[in-house]
């Protein structure tokens, strides 16, 4: 094994293996290893041009003589070796003479280090387990590798980020996470550690990560290389700023994104949708966007309005714009085998291939195949169809559904993309899906681009994605899970996030328990990055016709407008519509911060108060921007809420106007019409 410096990089070479350690922006490094002479050239999410930084690389000769040798034997067998150190601002990487890595901050404090259990680490102890920190194990008969990367575990460490998982815990320490996407699951493998570093696993392969008590272990079944990014900083905000610089920052949120979005499963006709929009305006209620959901089309993959139900989209869009409402249209990546585009896309290689079976990926409402969003040609083809049939009619905001994509079943080893086998790269699918529409809209001169998507990976944010948390259940448990999901998405670099208010699956609008859930969720939604109503709302309407021209038709759920849940609830819901309106100037500033620095709009308390140790353990409240602490009511029948107020600030209850000193737990009233909101340091807000 040789360790040497080359072009301000540290190289570890052993046979055909190469490990490269190099500065990657301020206070950060990128680590790559290949088991082949030529490094795989995919940069994946680390594709931004990074600023040049000053790097200091030094080496030191150390004594590595076995301590068992004494006297003359010591002189006879005396050995030395070289250790290297790379310093980039606040991050120092130490490379031992045996090639293992450890990472320190500018104070000399250990942040993390690789897990080795097979060598004589500086003669401190010998471990015969033969467990390496890095393993690229060839897959027999192929050109790919199974990869393991292991790091030491620390008892005091808390881990946040990693994207969106449907579970209860904000802190991911002790969790095993699947590195792949599913409906309501988005793997975005960047985390912030309470020890003062951020770590990004720059690998879109299917796998798992285990944040265990004994070690942290990353594992993927099929890949070409090891690739990760690590950054140091004094605050979580600094870590997010470094990471978003490396993977890209979100653009500025369009103005219509700041207000209220109306959505349901589903407005079946143009007249039905316009009636709801007109009624909102007749009642004097704010409404900024309205969504035309799925199966408004002729066939999946045609990307066009069904003319019987949507006879004049141009006039519809014109009227909505005159009302000050942005129309949003659902697009699915599924191509029906009867679609007018199917055979052309198949001939051009624009569809995802299956290695076995009949080649169909989904059979719900038709026999369909996903288009290959990793293929630039396929991206352009789909955009051109949507441009012709939607954009030219005035549609500029798209709902990119099924963005995981939602294979049935999720047999990733069966699918193959333009970018490679799905096992190696499927997690980039939602990035390419969003990029195709972003590039298309930008080419048409659009400067305010937003796409509502059901999944994201690292780098998605720079293509204007608003991620929502998928087809979740209507329950208080699900609501609690969405809070940690939204916070962890923001910490993983995806600042535009929303959930289906009230949940998607279930939710009978006549049920009193559901109405209570909806009201609590709606109030919380007013303090989320995007405020959007949606849900299937059981029971579904009966089908008026099963098939039309041989195409199966889908029906709709119950009404889902603010006036659909009873007069008392209507009064509460409309109150929060106007609260959101009054918050728009503040939210606009939060969105500017997200675009400029990568700061999440909603974030855990420790983001703004990292010096308060208690804040690192609070999982049921959050900061909405820098000045508002929000404590959603997520328990059935609750009438009050206990809230921890971070130290170092004073807090005013927006409802009671009572002022509290930080650093204490308080109990505040929380009747059905109130979501507790605490205002920081006497800032001026008109909420209640």
In total, how many domains does the chain have? Answer: 3
Same domain? For 176 and 275 the reply is: no
Of 247, 276, 292, the residue at which a domain comes to its end is: 247
- Torsion angle of alpha carbons 540, 545, 549, 552, nearest 10°? 30
Among the listed residues 27, 309, 404, 406, the single catalytic one is: 404
* Helix segments in 55-113, DSSP class H: 71-77
Separation of alpha carbons 433 and 405, rounded Å: 10
135 vs 674: CA distance, rounded Å: 54
Pair (40, 78) in one structural domain:
yes
Choice among 27, 227, 241, 471 that is catalytic? 471
The answer on 433 and 387 residing in a single domain is yes
The pTM score is 0.97
Verify that 548 and 614 share a domain, yes or no: no
d(CA 14, CA 638): 62
Q: By the 8 A CB rule, do 261 and 530 touch?
A: yes
What pLDDT, on the 0 to 100 scale, is given for residue 629?
Answer: 99
Position 481 scores a pLDDT of: 98
Domain membership of residue 676 (yes or no) is: yes
585 sits in which H/E element = helix 567-597
Tell me, yes or no, whether 620 and 592 share the same domain.
no
Domain's final residue, options 209, 228, 247:
247
pLDDT tens digits for range 187-204: 999 999 999 999 999 999
Could you report the per-residue pLDDT of 54-93, keeping only the tens digit for each? 999 999 998 776 666 666 666 666 677 889 999 999 999 9
Q: Which domain holds residue 366?
A: 255-597
CATH number at residue 161: 2.60.40.1760
Contact 486, 602 (CB under 8 A): yes
Boundary of a domain, candidates 247, 277, 302: 247
Catalytic (active site) residue 401: yes
What CATH number did the domain enclosing 551 receive? 3.20.20.80
Q: What is the mean pLDDT of each run of 10 residues along the chain (688 residues)?
A: 95 95 98 96 97 95 70 67 94 94 98 85 60 94 95 97 97 98 98 98 98 98 98 98 98 98 97 98 98 97 97 98 98 98 98 93 94 98 98 98 95 97 98 98 98 98 98 98 98 98 96 98 98 95 88 94 98 98 98 98 98 98 98 98 98 98 98 98 96
- Mark whether 341 and 408 lie in a shared domain: yes
576-610 residue pLDDT tens = 999 999 999 999 999 999 999 999 999 999 999 99
Whether 687 is in a domain gets the answer no
CATH number of the domain bearing residue 674: 2.60.40.1180
Q: Are residues 425 and 554 in the same domain?
A: yes
Cα Rg of the chain, angstroms: 27
- Residue 74 pLDDT: 63
Residue 685 lies inside a defined structural domain of this protein: no
Question: Do 447 and 492 lie in a common domain?
Answer: yes
Q: What is the dihedral of CA 479, 481, 482, 488, to 10 degrees?
A: 160
155 is known as an active-site residue: no
Same domain for 573 and 635, yes or no, is no
Residues 675 and 558 in one domain: no
Shared domain for 36 and 166, answered yes or no, is: yes
Our CA angle for 307, 312, 314, nearest 5°, is 130
pLDDT of amino acid 485: 98
Separation CA 669–CA 636 (nearest Å): 15
pLDDT at res. 121 = 47
Q: Among residues 401, 500, 561, 608, which one is catalytic?
A: 401
620 belongs to the catalytic site: no
What is the residue-averaged pLDDT of the chain?
95
- Does 618 lie in the same domain as 572? no
The β-bridge partners of 331 are 400
Task: Report how far residue 436's alpha carbon sits from residue 125's, in angstroms, rounded to the nearest whole number.
Answer: 54
């Amino acid at each position: 094994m040789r360790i040497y410096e080359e072009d301000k990089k540290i190289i570890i070479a052993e046979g055909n293996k190469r490990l490269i350690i190099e500065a990657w922006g301020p206070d950060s490094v990128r680590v790559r290893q290949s088991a082949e002479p030529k490094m795989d050239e995919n940069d994946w999410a680390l594709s931004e041009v990074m600023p040049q930084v000053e790097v200091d690389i030094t080496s030191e000769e150390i004594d590595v003589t076995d301590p068992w040798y004494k006297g003359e034997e010591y002189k006879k067998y005396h050995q030395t070796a070289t250790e290297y150190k790379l310093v980039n601002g606040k991050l120092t990487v130490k490379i031992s003479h045996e090639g293992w890595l450890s990472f320190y901050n500018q104070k000399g404090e250990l942040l993390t280090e690789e897990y080795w259990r097979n060598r004589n680490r500086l003669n401190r102890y010998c471990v015969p387990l033969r467990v390496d920190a890095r393993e690229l194990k060839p897959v027999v008969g192929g050109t790919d590798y199974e990869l393991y990367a292991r790091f030491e575990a620390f008892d005091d460490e808390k881990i946040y980020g990693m994207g969106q998982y449907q579970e209860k815990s904000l802190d991911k320490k002790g969790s095993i996470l699947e590195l792949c996407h599913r409906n309501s699951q988005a793997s975005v493998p960047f985390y912030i550690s309470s020890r003062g570093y951020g770590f990004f696993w720059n690998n879109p392969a299917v796998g798992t990560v285990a944040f265990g008590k004994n070690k942290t272990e990353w594992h993927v079944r099929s890949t070409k290389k090891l690739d990760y990014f690590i950054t140091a900083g004094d605050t979580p905000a600094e870590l997010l700023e470094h990471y978003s610089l490396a993977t890209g920052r979100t653009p500025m949120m369009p103005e219509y994104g700041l207000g209220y979005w109306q959505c349901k499963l589903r407005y079946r006709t143009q007249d039905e949708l316009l009636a709801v929009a007109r009624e909102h305006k007749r009642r004097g209620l704010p409404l900024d966007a309205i969504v035309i959901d799925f199966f408004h089309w002729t066939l999946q993959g045609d990307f066009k309005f069904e003319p019987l139900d949507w006879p004049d989209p141009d006039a519809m869009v014109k009227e909505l714009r005159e009302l000050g409402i942005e129309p949003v249209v659902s697009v699915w990546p599924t191509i029906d085998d009867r679609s007018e585009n199917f055979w052309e896309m198949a001939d051009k290689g624009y569809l995802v291939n299956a290695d076995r079976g009949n080649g169909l990926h989904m059979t719900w409402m038709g026999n369909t195949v996903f288009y290959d969003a990793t293929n630039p040609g396929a991206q352009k083809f789909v955009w051109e169809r949507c441009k012709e049939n939607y954009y030219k009619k005035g549609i500029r905001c798209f709902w990119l559904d099924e963005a995981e994509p939602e294979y049935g079943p999720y047999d990733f080893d069966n699918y193959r993309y333009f970018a490679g086998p799905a096992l190696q790269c499927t997690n980039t699918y939602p990035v390419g899906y969003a990029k195709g529409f972003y590039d298309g809209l930008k080419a048409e001169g659009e400067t305010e681009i937003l796409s509502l998507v059901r999944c994201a990976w690292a780098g998605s944010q720079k293509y204007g994605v608003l991620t929502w948390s998928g087809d979740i259940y209507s329950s208080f448990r699900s609501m609690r899970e969405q809070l940690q999901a939204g916070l962890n998405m923001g910490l993983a670099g995806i600042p535009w996030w929303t959930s289906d208010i009230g949940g998607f699956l279930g939710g009978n609008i006549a049920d009193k328990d559901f109405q209570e859930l909806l009201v609590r969720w709606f109030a919380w939604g007013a303090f989320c990055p995007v405020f959007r109503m949606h849900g299937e709302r059981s029971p579904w309407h009966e089908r008026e016709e099963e098939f039309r021209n041989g195409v199966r038709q889908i029906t709709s759920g119950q009404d889902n407008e603010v006036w659909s849940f009873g007069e008392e609830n209507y009064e509460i819901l409309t109150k929060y519509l106007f609260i959101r309106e009054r918050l728009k100037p503040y939210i606009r500033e939060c969105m500017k911060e997200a675009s400029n620095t990568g700061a999440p709009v909603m974030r855990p308390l420790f983001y703004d108060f990292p010096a308060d140790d208690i804040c690192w353990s609070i999982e049921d409240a959050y900061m909405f921007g820098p000045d508002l602490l929000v404590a959603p009511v997520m328990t059935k029948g609750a009438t009050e809420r206990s809230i921890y107020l971070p130290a170092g600030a004073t807090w005013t209850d927006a409802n009671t106007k009572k002022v509290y000193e930080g650093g204490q737990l308080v109990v505040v009233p929380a009747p059905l019409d109130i979501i507790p909101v605490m205002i920081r340091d006497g800032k001026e807000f008109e909420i209640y």
